[in-house]
Amino acid sequence: MDLFQKCHIDLLDKVRELDVYPYFHCLESKQAPIVFMEGKRKIMLGSNNYLGFTENEKVIEAGIKALEKYGSGVSGSRFLNGTLDLHLELEHALAAYTGYEEAITCSTGFQTNLSIISAICGKNDYILNDRENHASIYDACRLTYATVLRYKHSDMEDLEKKLQSIPEIAGKLIVTDGVFSMRGDICRLPEICALAEKYGARVMVDDAHGFGVLGQGGRGTANYFGLTDKVDITMLTFSKSLASIGGCMLTSHRVADYVRHVSRPFIFSASMTPCSAATALAALNELEKDQERPVRLMNIAKYFQKELIASGIKIIEAPTPIVPIFTYKTLDTLYYGKRLFDEGVYVNPVVAPACVEGECLLRTTLMATHTETIIDEAVNIISQELKKPSPFE
């Protein structure tokens, strides 16, 4: 068989032919509540810019100054020539803000999960993975020789059964998203930590969508539950609440030192650019000064949910700024996503394999900088378009 035979995807061709292809729309302005995409005004309800810092003047200024001082890149890995005083300052600030002993920064959030899990877990270990965890966690597991056991989403009975099946002498890591990115629900961290203690496992939380959103001053999922001392590793991304690019591992001194010296994805990747590190640090400083910003984010998310429900739109209610709207079928989801885009509202269509067929949805996300006026306009458009029949029904 020709190696490239797999590159012919019938569904992709069909979606393009039907003019409902939803990906790679071109953004021509800052990530903000109102953006310009392909020359037209859109209400942005599909960005992870939760705290709205991408257009913050101090964050932008910090990036410009870093470019002027350090240049455009570091041309090497942290392990060799790529460690800047800026990286160290960011790591110290992140550890202090979240209550961990140490932080390690990586170039992307995806790479952060690869760096942590591939270093920590080996062939005699077991990884217990929530079925709805992020793709980067799944790929990180593939880099290990560990045995991976998937437990049903947030099903603590299933998790305990899996833990009971593991030899007592084996190393065990329970990995969970803090906030699940598709549905916006929060992991059952108190029960996870209790099971970890009962069966001698370690706990890792991917808090990409939790940091800046949950907990006091947006300190994340572990802080939200008062369990920072029970979560052995927390992973953060900077591309969401911190308005930059990169990620970090939060953990103890000993674990951090180990990962720095054995993690191949960390050692053999160039470090964060100066601009990325500076903007993340500036966004963290802004959050520390304005710890009510996550409260404003949740207030506008609650308002959005309330208005959608009042308009008869079926959503998944969750205490986060991720608000999924049910559309069920693949073609219906793509069709309504395209209709909303054409009418001026940008959302993210979620179809298989990101979800189970029959549970497709339009994923919307809020920013602290959204206003009720903007939300009212968006809800009006969503309500009008979703109540129209789909041509694919």
Q: In angstroms, how far apart are the furthest CA atoms of the chain? A: 60
What is d(CA 155, CA 185) in angstroms, rounded to the nearest whole number? Answer: 13
Beta-sheet strands, E only, within 100-225: 102-106, 125-130, 147-151, 171-177, 202-206
What is d(CA 106, CA 38) in angstroms, rounded to the nearest whole number? Answer: 32
**What amino acid positions are annotated as catalytic residues?**
181, 209, 240
Which residues lie below 8 Å from residue 77, measured CB to CB, with a gap of 6+? 266, 267, 268, 269, 270, 271
The 3-state DSSP composition of the chain as helix, strand, coil percent (nearest 5) reads 45, 20, 40
In whole angstroms, how far apart are CA 94 and each of 201, 212, 226, 272, 282?
25, 12, 18, 15, 11
Phi, then psi, of 335 in degrees rounded to 5? -65, -50
What is d(CA 125, CA 151) in angstroms, rounded to the nearest whole number? Answer: 16
CB of 102 within 8 A of CB of 252? yes
Which residues lie below 8 Å from residue 85, measured CB to CB, with a gap of 6+? none
Q: Where are the alpha helices (DSSP H) in 99-134?
A: 109-120
Which residues lie below 8 Å from residue 73, measured CB to CB, with a gap of 6+? 270, 273, 274
Phi, then psi, of 195 in degrees rounded to 5? -70, -35
Residue with tokens 């000993």: 254
Q: Is 336 helix (H, G, I), strand (E, B) or coil?
A: helix
Q: Report helix angle 274-289 to 57-70, nearest 10.
A: 150
